[in-house]
Structure 1
Amino acid sequence: MAGVSVIPVQSKRDMKTFVDLPWELYRNDPFWIPPVKSQVIQLLTPGRHPFWTFSRRELFLAMRGSEVVGRIAAIVDDHYNEYQQEKMGIWGFFECQRDPEAAGALFAAAIDWVRQQGMEFIRGPLNPSLNYEAGLLVHGFESRPTFLMTYNPPYYPELVKLSGFRKEKDLLTYLSTRDIKPPEWAMNLGERLAQKQEVKVRHMNPKHFDDEVRLLTRLYVECWGGNWGFSPPTEAEVRDMVNSIYPIWDTDLAFFLYVQDEPVGVCVVLPDVTPLLKRFNGKLGLGALLKKHLYWNEINGCRGFILGVKEEYRQVGAPLVALHYLMEAAKNKLQYYYVELGWNLEDNQAINLLYEESGLRPHKRYRIFRRDLV
């Protein structure tokens, strides 16, 4: 058997190989969801995505002879490191055959690169940060992921551990279906709290796009600013994110929470378009998918993409109000059989307990790994 070599991505041909590799690795996996190729290329390309205005990266391919057997991205997010006062390197976009030697060579290349950038530890997978797709699936392999969640074969965690990484944090998702009836007390309490605390819901208005993006950016920081691993997205990143998902935006399931006249929370629930992504194999963007009306009935669920409340309003029931409202709104959409919420940090006991007591059940578990370099 030929030995393993690792090469940096340098040409357009190399980039195409990097982007196309998952289609080869997952060709017989019924649960893998192809991403939109054009969006992957944009996300990986400095100058085409706002993340790279404050970050840098190196992409690597693992070769066994003439065969491409794996890939990885090594990343430094200067914005995060300045915000958290850390020296963190990142690995992400990892894919590999069941080949410990190749995986080890890829991780060694990523570690060497971030070490040369002066980093003191490396964390991943982040694709390319915690504000995007993150985590390695470690539980929940029996079903496909929902929209914008990661997926990988069951052997990936072992490849990561063999390269010297340890668990740092788990991310959890929760699931509700029409067969699961929320406890009556939770629904009644949500209604009473909404009235008592004067919690109001305002749907996002696409006619005021710029204002809504600014408010969403502000609330994202105010709601998640104290969380582990957080760094505030820039307004340009939020704008890019909203633009990318706007073609499938369901205005009935995208809203702000207000107490009196103060915005205190935000919720965005998206149709789970993974059946269409699977059908068209990553060749069509979301705007083009929206035009495929013939297949729209294949979508039978949704995903809670954003759900957050400012800390000072969590103890007066605003999270329960938000959950109650989104669950009722989703139930009124007869097309939706299920809704997945998350991810949540495993130690976010308040929100995890709220979900469980409201009748949702744990669904999938994703893991962030870390390796110290000094």
Structure 2
Amino acid sequence: KASNMSLRIRTVASKRDLKEFVRFPFRLYADCPYWVPPINKAEYFTLERGMDPDFGATKARLFLAERNGRTVGRIAAIINMKEFEKVGEKHTRFGWFDFEDDREVSRALVDAAMEWAVKEGGQLIKGPYGFTALDKAGMVIEGFDFTGPASTLYNYEYYRDHMVDMGFEKDVDWVEFEIKTPSEPPARVLKAVDILQNRYGLHCVPMRSSKDVMQRVDELFQLYVETYAELPGTVPLTQKQVQAYAKQYLPILRPDFVKFVADAEGKMIGFGITMPSMSRALQKARGRLWPFGVWHIMQAKRKPRLADLVLIGIKKEWRSRGVHTLIFWDTMRTYWDVG
């Protein structure tokens, strides 16, 4: 498909195309100090498994935009059948949406995604989203001079203007906060923790090793789906997805940064997962694990100065009792221990 002789939209149809799809943003953001690149291997893994309907009950098509033989944009169009079952409509997600500041390019990419979506029975298009809510999502509309967590997306300011010009409307705000760790526990926190522990018998289950975390993985993801069910973009996960996400994220988690809250009977009712900030390490790695990427990541894991709260969930019947206080209290104690 082409809108003129120089602009061409084509489907990713080979490993070479996929490599170009993954590498394009490295050129687009080459001079941007705020963009946090992914690890190439992880991107290939995410995209290849996402396009396998037997893996995640998803259909997907990737597109590249080329002008005079040079890549100028990319987009992924995704239909998650689990989401269809959940909402009763075929929502088409678009993600991995990057483009030069050229409205013809962004419009042509969205048109290609929408054309594919219509053929697949899609009834609306929304994004940026990944295959599931555990993939990166969203678009920056404020704070362009800030380096965010590695689990979030960054984009240039002109993206927002392109979306408005194409008629997209904001669906939901996701806001990032930076919180300073207090030097000592506030009295009200200690009081709340005492009530939760002594009146309700709640306690944080210590995670001393990756093996301890793995033993709770299925329970964790089950609680994640339950507690996030009402949030935009959240869909049930297949068992293959659970195993894949565990394999992907467990190696970079510190077990002591994973907090599980159990009731008096030992049943998990809440969780909070923070991880050492990997943003600067990934910027240094530039998408590659070897030869130095692994070293930068391990250094960030061993000696964190900043941590990212990536997931927190509490059973609905416990949310009004301040269980999050116990999670934050135990997390703060870990931060004090590691400095």
Under a length normalisation based on structure 2, what TM-score does the superposition of the two structures give? 0.89
The aligned residue for residue 68 of structure 2 is: 65
The aligned residue for residue 246 of structure 1 is: 250
Taking structure 1 as reference, are residues 156 and 48 closer, same or farther at Cα in structure 2, changes over 3 Å only? closer
Aligned residue identity for 2:318: Y
The aligned residue for residue 18 of structure 2 is: 15
> Could you report, residue by residue, the CA deviation over 1:234-254 in whole angstroms, capped at 9, with x for unpaired residues?
232222122112222211111
Secondary structure at 1:332 match in 2 = helix
Which aligned pairs between 1:60-209 and structure 2 lie closer than 5 A? 60-178=63-181, 184-204=187-207, 206-207=210-211
Bigger fraction of residues in strand: 1
How far apart in 1 are the matches of 2:242 and 2:77? Answer: 23
How far apart in 2 are the matches of 1:81 and 1:7? Answer: 27
Please state how far the C-alpha of 1:58 moved relative to its aligned partner.
Answer: 0.8
Pairing 1:318–2:314 present = no
Secondary structure at 2:260 match in 1 = strand
Pairing 1:35–2:57 present = no
Secondary structure at 1:269 match in 2 = strand
How far apart in 2 are the matches of 1:139 and 1:68? Answer: 27
Secondary structure at 2:234 match in 1 = coil
Q: Give the unaligned 5+ runs of structure 1.
A: 335-374
Secondary structure at 1:128 match in 2 = coil
How far apart in 2 are the matches of 1:157 and 1:187? Answer: 43
Taking structure 1 as reference, are residues 158 and 179 closer, same or farther at Cα in structure 2, changes over 3 Å only? farther
How far apart in 2 are the matches of 1:180 and 1:99? Answer: 49
> Could you report, residue by residue, the CA deviation over 1:310-333 in whole angstroms, capped at 9, with x for unpaired residues?
000111221222122223322332
Which among 258, 263, 266 is matched to residue 262 of structure 2? 258
Q: Which has the higher contact order (CA 8 A, sep 6+)?
A: 1
Taking structure 1 as reference, are residues 281 and 209 closer, same or farther at Cα in structure 2, changes over 3 Å only? same
The aligned residue for residue 300 of structure 1 is: 305
Taking structure 1 as reference, are residues 160 and 263 closer, same or farther at Cα in structure 2, changes over 3 Å only? same
Which among 284, 288, 296 is matched to residue 283 of structure 1? 288
Q: Is the 8 A contact 1:88 1:123 kept in 2?
A: yes
Taking structure 1 as reference, are residues 291 and 97 closer, same or farther at Cα in structure 2, changes over 3 Å only? closer
Taking structure 1 as reference, are residues 92 and 48 closer, same or farther at Cα in structure 2, changes over 3 Å only? closer
> Could you report, residue by residue, the CA deviation over 1:103-140 in whole angstroms, capped at 9, with x for unpaired residues?
00000100111111111111100123323111001122
How far apart in 2 are the matches of 1:186 and 1:142? Answer: 34
Secondary structure at 2:151 match in 1 = coil
How far apart in 2 are the matches of 1:51 and 1:277? Answer: 31
Under a length normalisation based on structure 1, what TM-score does the superposition of the two structures give? 0.81
Taking structure 1 as reference, are residues 120 and 180 closer, same or farther at Cα in structure 2, changes over 3 Å only? farther
Q: Tell me how many residue pairs correspond in the alignment.
A: 334
How far apart in 2 are the matches of 1:315 and 1:47? Answer: 37
Please state how far the C-alpha of 1:282 moved relative to its aligned partner.
Answer: 0.9
Please state how far the C-alpha of 1:293 moved relative to its aligned partner.
Answer: 5.8
How far apart in 1 are the matches of 2:290 and 2:191? Answer: 41
Secondary structure at 1:156 match in 2 = helix
Please tell me the root mean square deviation across aligned C-alpha atoms, in Å.
2.7
Please state how far the C-alpha of 1:185 moved relative to its aligned partner.
Answer: 2.5
Identical residues among aligned pairs (%): 26
Please state how far the C-alpha of 1:215 moved relative to its aligned partner.
Answer: 1.0
The range that moved more, 222-231 or 123-132, is 222-231
Aligned residue identity for 1:281: R
